[in-house]
Amino acid sequence: MSEDRPLYVEEKIIGALKRLLAGRVNEILEEAQFVIPLIEYGNDDTHYPMSPLITLITCERTEKERLIKVDSYSLTITFTLPESRDSELHCYAYSAAVIMAVYENPTLEGIVNRAVITAKKYNRPKIAHCGEPWELVLTLRLTIEGC
């Protein structure tokens, strides 16, 4: 992203979420009694041990939302963890830490009016010990008023 142009709301949302994950979520994980890989983001997100994928989708607006000028987004955070004996525990730890961080900061630094976690899904490997990863998918609904 270039510093000399205005940011779109979608870029602001993703940036705030990355800061939340690499900031407060990591603080919560460090307080845990287990060693859990911390979340890191950089210029090339693929080189870090834990860099969850963030996918943002514009939700379909109802007639009421159009009239009162409310935009809503669906956002997924996908954690992919290599299979190990602690993978399941790590999925639960990441889930709890993200839920706690979003609960503490439901406006994502004032960018949205409200962020709510609507679903969490734990995907275990279909066949144990064959190299397939564990996956945690968290779904959030974000609303922005006055758009």
pLDDT for residue 43? 64
Task: Grade residue 46 by pLDDT with cuts at 50, 70 and 90.
Answer: low
pLDDT for residue 16? 95
The Cα-based distances of 137 to 20, 47, 81, 88, 140 in angstroms read: 17, 20, 11, 13, 10
Please give the sequence-ordered ranges of beta strands (E in DSSP) within 2-133, or none if there are none.
53-58, 70-81, 114-123
Query: Domains in the chain, start-ordered, CATH in brackets?
Result: 9-145 (3.30.70)
Average pLDDT, the chain: 88
Structure tokens belonging to residue 69: 């000028």
pLDDT for residue 71? 85
Task: Grade residue 50 by pLDDT with cuts at 50, 70 and 90.
Answer: confident
Cα separation, 37 vs 84, in Å, equals 13
Q: The whole model's pTM is what?
A: 0.87
pLDDT for residue 99? 97
Cα separation, 66 vs 95, in Å, equals 32
Q: Is the pLDDT of residue 56 over 80?
A: yes
Instruction: Give mean pLDDT, residues 90-105.
Output: 97
Cα separation, 23 vs 29, in Å, equals 10
What's the length of the chain? 147
Cα separation, 79 vs 62, in Å, equals 31
Structure tokens belonging to residue 141: 């609904």
